[in-house]
Amino acid sequence: MTEVGRARRRKEDARLVTGRTRWTDNIQMPGMLYVAFLRSPMAHARITRVDTSAARGRPGVVAVYSGRDFAAEQGSLPCAWPVSEDVVIPDHPPMAVSEVRYVGEAVACVVATDRYKAADALDAIEVDYEPLPAVLDMREALTEDSPKVHESGNKAFTWTFSGGDIDAAFTGAPVVVEREYVQQRLIPTAMEPRAVVASTDGETFTIYSATQIPHVLRVMLAVTTGIPEHKLRVIAPDVGGGFGSKLQVTAEEVLTLLITRRLGKPVKWTESRSEGNLTVHHGRDQIQRISVAAERDGRLRGIKVDLLADMGAYLMLVTPGVPLLGAFMYNGIYKMDAYHFACTGVFTTKMPTDAYRGAGRPEATYALERVMDELAAELGMDPMEIRRRNWIRHEEFPYTTIAGLTYDSGNYEAATDRAMTLFGYDKLRAEQADRRERRDPVQLGIGISTYTEMCGLAPSRVLGSLAYGAGGWEHANVRMLPTGKVEVVTGSSPHGQGHVTAWSQIAADALGVPFEDVSVIHGDTAIATKGMDTYGSRSLVVGGMAVLQACEKVKEKARQVAAHMLEASADDVEFDQGSFRVRGTGAAKTIQEIAFAVFAAHDLPDGFEPRLDADATFDPENFSFPHGTHLCAIEVDTETGQSRIRSYVAVDDVGKVVNPLIVEGQVHGGLAQGIAQALYEEAVYDSEGNLLTTTMADYLIPSAADLPDFVTDRTETPATSNPLGVKGVGEAGTIASTPAVVNAIVDALRPHGVHDVRMPCTPERIWRTLQSVNGGAA
């Protein structure tokens, strides 16, 4: 039986759930010091004075620094994605020196012998601020007389993209529907807060960080701090979730490293949850204006998107690139004649935004799937029917979209049919009609999301054409040990995904060894020396391919040795389930025997290097395009505004599946996060730029108790762009579910005259929406 496709329980979990873990915060070193940051209480202000003298005298305090102390060496936090010619990348000091631009920006820090003393001494630092006006609203920020976040103004960049003749598509179109949607600001909430430990032996530096990107971080820290790359080791130990929030080069990482360089001692920083809400980069925060032109029969002519994207106060690692990742997705699974996308990045005095699970694609999918429902309503069509009329048919693959991407494979009909059956679509529509007829205070809504997304980041050449600062390859090293066991070293850096299990399954099949005989090593730049890390649903489709290719190389080497040992030609040696056999004879050698023979090296083919290992670096030829159909039924209590998801069906097509259990977990978690955006989560700043959602009592995330039992299933249309036939799954659930939920809510309330509810669709917002359309008579 092959390993790929088996619902293997994760190798990681016994250790993780029994607490035998090594989070960054667990790391202790002799003489370790602790740093606490003093953060700006002002959204925008000039720093006129910082007095650290009193804090220096506090018990246990070793050092106190302000931004001025680091000014000469701290550099600027990097932005690796200068998206356009006109992009403005302001200087971004890790610790503010002369001006603060968001509440939470670090202005000083205390280094002390324990973290309590460090926190206590923060009170003794005196900072004088000269207030400057906060800039909070994107549209106001773009007006002439708006106060400026940076000298250069509030516009970060503009970026446009077109396919087809958009004017022709809209001119004379029988139907045009235009809507505006708001992607609220979100706070990624990984279970493990960020933490950093830096240490030095006087010459080299080691930094442990709760990061998704140890390899990228190493490069960036070297560039930022001037510590030579070969003197810097980055380790991502156990990392408890990221969702993009740990795809970053943070001020705290840089400063912790600088403090260690200055003091020569190990230094640790661990954020509190409230500190994290303030200063983990935020997600989404866009205003989307979307127009769709269509024929009366529902056929799409064109889509126009005008986007404002809130950058926050600075451009961080990929801040300006996030909207671009959505730019190619506003056409979704649909055919149309023309498409136009324009985006303006805007600076505000808020925490910078950056990648958050889905990064660009959830926004695009939301606007598109919402507007498809609006178009259906406008035309009096069933919302599924309008989708059917427009989507790319199975026989049309591979299909090059109006946005210029070539979707390699897909079967929207199959996924939709399966979802409709599991959901009981017609029966629910009948119940909806009945409730409407009875004027039931609890109305039923049905929401559809037929999504695709681009992931598996990414072909390096494409990234280059988009001005991204790095490639999209991934690396693996596979080695057979003398006893026949296998070590897989991966450049992917797991933080909850289950790489160890999935890579073991791929290697076990490729080398014909037991699943248990494979171990996977990752997350340390001294050991996993090459990598591009984990984000953008890339691990399996890029990193998994690298593992497979390295295994293939090992196998070919082993075949040479087998042929030599069996005195046969390599062409006559077949590999099956771990054994090399001479075709037509019984003579065979197991791969384990060969591994030992290579180790001994007594009798190898002439010129054969005595090693049974191989490296592979895989650069994908295309993105990965998972797709699926999600259906959501929601009951909305029109008296209170409370909504309750009654059923949720997700049928996803992620191509060939390596481990169904892991896919299931990714889908469940993704759904929870997408539903959370629809119903619960929102970062709120007040009119002075103070973040109000600094605790989990204010920033609500749903728990299992708030979510329905998900009905999940899959169709399997293999990707043709990689030999495994796999597609990414890490973000699909998040991307698909948000519009399914909001479409359901709007569908429930449409007879009341409602055609939008702003996210998150809180009970109060639903109630107020009903109040406004009913003239106060909800």
Partner 1 sequence: MIPAAFDYVRPQTLEEAAMALAEAGEDAKVLAGGQSLLPLLRLRLSYPSSLVDVGRLSELHGVRDEGDHVFIGAATTHYDVVHSPVVQAECPLVAMATATVADPQVRHRGTFGGSLAHADPAGDLPAVAVALDCAFVARSASGGEREIPASEFFVDYLEPALRADEILVGVKVPKLGPGWGYHYEKFHRTAQSWAIVGVAAAVRRSNGSIEEARIGLTNMGPTPVRASAVEEALRGTPITVPVPGGGNGGPDPIRDACGEAAAGTSPPADLHAQPDYRRHLARVLTHRAVLSAARA
Closer to partner 1 by CB, 36 or 548: give it. 36
CB 449 to partner 1: min, Å: 23
Among 415, 491, 440, 404, CA closest to 655: 415
Closer to partner 1 by CB, 471 or 702: give it. 702
Which of the ranges 69-77, 111-119, 471-479, 644-652 carries the binding residues for partner 1, by CB under 8 A?
Answer: 111-119
Site membership for partner 1, residue 146 (CB under 8 A): no
User: Of 404, 441, 751, 753, which lies in the binding site for partner 1, with binding defined by CB under 8 A?
Assistant: 441
Site membership for partner 1, residue 692 (CB under 8 A): yes
Cβ pair 135, 78 in contact under 8 A: no
Site membership for partner 1, residue 695 (CB under 8 A): yes
Which bin fits 567, alpha (ψ -120 to 50), beta or left (φ > 0)?
A: left
Closer to partner 1 by CB, 277 or 411: give it. 277
Q: How many residues bind partner 1 (CB under 8 A)?
A: 33
CB 766 to partner 1: min, Å: 11
Please state, in angstroms and rounded to a whole number, the distance separating the CA atoms of residues 429 and 334: 24
Please state, in angstroms and rounded to a whole number, the distance separating the CA atoms of residues 24 and 495: 12
Site membership for partner 1, residue 777 (CB under 8 A): no
Site membership for partner 1, residue 768 (CB under 8 A): yes
| Residue 230 neighbours by CB under 8 Å, 6+ apart | none
State phi, psi for 182 to the nearest 5 degrees: -115, 120
Please state, in angstroms and rounded to a whole number, the distance separating the CA atoms of residues 23 and 495: 11
Which of the ranges 281-289, 363-371, 666-674, 696-704 carries the binding residues for partner 1, by CB under 8 A?
Answer: 696-704
Cβ pair 632, 737 in contact under 8 A: yes
Q: Mark residues 635-654: x for contact with partner 1 by CB under 8 A, - for none.
A: ----xx-x------------
User: Of 230, 427, 439, 602, which lies in the binding site for partner 1, with binding defined by CB under 8 A?
Assistant: 439
User: Of 693, 712, 715, 738, which lies in the binding site for partner 1, with binding defined by CB under 8 A?
Assistant: 693
Please state, in angstroms and rounded to a whole number, the distance separating the CA atoms of residues 301 and 285: 28
CB 706 to partner 1: min, Å: 5
**Pairing mode, if any, of strands 300-312 and 338-347?**
parallel
What length is written for the chain? 778
Which of the ranges 38-46, 82-90, 100-108, 435-443 carries the binding residues for partner 1, by CB under 8 A?
Answer: 435-443
Closer to partner 1 by CB, 662 or 744: give it. 744
Site membership for partner 1, residue 706 (CB under 8 A): yes
Element (H, E) at 157: strand 155-163
Residues 620-631: b if buried by 16+ CB within 10 A, e if exposed: bebbbbbbbbbb
User: Of 76, 146, 272, 460, which lies in the binding site for partner 1, with binding defined by CB under 8 A?
Assistant: 272
CB 269 to partner 1: min, Å: 12
* Token representation of residue 94: 């890790």
Torsion of the alpha carbons at 370, 374, 375 and 379, rounded to the nearest 10: 150
Please state, in angstroms and rounded to a whole number, the distance separating the CA atoms of residues 234 and 207: 5
Closer to partner 1 by CB, 114 or 126: give it. 114
Cβ pair 433, 748 in contact under 8 A: no
Closer to partner 1 by CB, 1 or 697: give it. 697
Site membership for partner 1, residue 466 (CB under 8 A): no
Which of the ranges 76-84, 247-255, 437-445, 557-565 carries the binding residues for partner 1, by CB under 8 A?
Answer: 437-445
Closer to partner 1 by CB, 574 or 698: give it. 698
Cβ pair 301, 321 in contact under 8 A: no
State phi, psi for 328 to the nearest 5 degrees: -95, 10
CB 436 to partner 1: min, Å: 11
Residue with tokens 């631009």: 101
Closer to partner 1 by CB, 497 or 638: give it. 638
Site membership for partner 1, residue 772 (CB under 8 A): no
3-state DSSP call for residue 376?
A: helix
Closer to partner 1 by CB, 625 or 699: give it. 699
3-state DSSP call for residue 68?
A: helix
Please state, in angstroms and rounded to a whole number, the distance separating the CA atoms of residues 143 and 550: 55
| Residue 389 neighbours by CB under 8 Å, 6+ apart | 297, 298, 299
Query: Cis before residue 470, ω within 30 degrees of 0?
Result: no
Q: Amino acid letter at 771?
A: Q
User: Of 12, 99, 105, 120, which lies in the binding site for partner 1, with binding defined by CB under 8 A?
Assistant: 120
CB 677 to partner 1: min, Å: 14
User: Of 644, 684, 751, 772, which lies in the binding site for partner 1, with binding defined by CB under 8 A?
Assistant: 684
* Token representation of residue 118: 């460090």
User: Of 7, 48, 53, 116, which lies in the binding site for partner 1, with binding defined by CB under 8 A?
Assistant: 116
Which of the ranges 172-180, 421-429, 599-607, 700-708 carries the binding residues for partner 1, by CB under 8 A?
Answer: 700-708
Site membership for partner 1, residue 752 (CB under 8 A): no
Site membership for partner 1, residue 703 (CB under 8 A): yes
* Token representation of residue 155: 């516009």
Element (H, E) at 427: helix 425-438
Please state, in angstroms and rounded to a whole number, the distance separating the CA atoms of residues 488 and 504: 8
Please state, in angstroms and rounded to a whole number, the distance separating the CA atoms of residues 156 and 141: 11
Name residues contacting partner 1, limited to 161-200 (CB under 8 A): none
User: Of 24, 673, 762, 769, which lies in the binding site for partner 1, with binding defined by CB under 8 A?
Assistant: 762
Cβ pair 394, 410 in contact under 8 A: yes
CB 112 to partner 1: min, Å: 11
Site membership for partner 1, residue 430 (CB under 8 A): no
Q: Amino acid letter at 33?
A: L
Closer to partner 1 by CB, 26 or 274: give it. 274
Which of the ranges 188-196, 219-227, 387-395, 691-699 carries the binding residues for partner 1, by CB under 8 A?
Answer: 691-699
Closer to partner 1 by CB, 32 or 470: give it. 32
By the 10 Å C-beta count (0-12 exposed, 13-18 middle, 19+ buried), 709 is classed as: exposed
Site membership for partner 1, residue 71 (CB under 8 A): no
Which of the ranges 220-228, 494-502, 572-580, 692-700 carries the binding residues for partner 1, by CB under 8 A?
Answer: 692-700
Site membership for partner 1, residue 767 (CB under 8 A): yes
Side-chain-facing half-sphere of 598: CA atoms under 13 Å: 29
User: Of 656, 690, 763, 773, which lies in the binding site for partner 1, with binding defined by CB under 8 A?
Assistant: 763
Name residues contacting partner 1, limited to 14-53 (CB under 8 A): 36
Task: Work out the angle between the directed axes of helices 660-679 and 732-749 (0-180°, nearest 10).
Answer: 40
| Secondary structure in 3-state letters for 252-317 | HHHHHHHHHHHHCCCEEEECCHHHHHHHCCEEEEEEEEEEEEECCCCCEEEEEEEEEEEEECCCCC
Which of the ranges 7-15, 168-176, 310-318, 436-444 carries the binding residues for partner 1, by CB under 8 A?
Answer: 436-444
CB 458 to partner 1: min, Å: 36
Site membership for partner 1, residue 764 (CB under 8 A): yes
Please state, in angstroms and rounded to a whole number, the distance separating the CA atoms of residues 652 and 412: 10
Judged by the rule CB under 8 A, the positions of this chain that interact with partner 1 are 36, 115-116, 119-120, 272, 274, 435, 438-441, 639-640, 642, 680, 684, 692-693, 695, 697-698, 700-703, 705-706, 762-764, 767-768
